[in-house]
Amino acid sequence: MIQSAIKVSLPIMFGFVPLGIAFGLLFQDLGYPWYFASLMGIIVYAGAAQFMAIGFLSVGLGIVEIAMSTFFLNSRHMFYGLSFLESFGNWNLRKLYLIFGMTDETYALLTTIKVPKSFQKERYYLYITLFSQIYWVFGCTIGALLADILTFNTNGMEFAATALFVVLLIEQWIMVRKLLPFIVGFISSIIALVFFLDHMLLVAIMVSIISIVLLRLIKVNHYE
* CA nearest neighbour of 10 among 109, 77, 99: 109
Name which of 129 and 145 has its Cβ closer to other proteins: 129
Q: Let me know how many helices (H) and strands (E) the chain has, helices first.
A: 11, 0
Nearest distance from C-beta of residue 123 to other proteins, angstroms: 18
Residue 69 contacts by C-beta under 8 Å, 6 or more apart in sequence? 52, 56
Nearest distance from C-beta of residue 30 to other proteins, angstroms: 8
Nearest distance from C-beta of residue 108 to other proteins, angstroms: 6
d(Cα 34, Cα 16) in Å, to the nearest integer? 18
Q: Dihedral sign for Cα 209, 212, 215, 216, please.
A: negative
Are 51 and 26 in contact, with CB atoms under 8 Å apart? yes
Nearest distance from C-beta of residue 149 to other proteins, angstroms: 20
Q: What are phi and psi of 87, to 5 degrees?
A: -75, -10
Name which of 142 and 207 has its Cβ closer to other proteins: 207
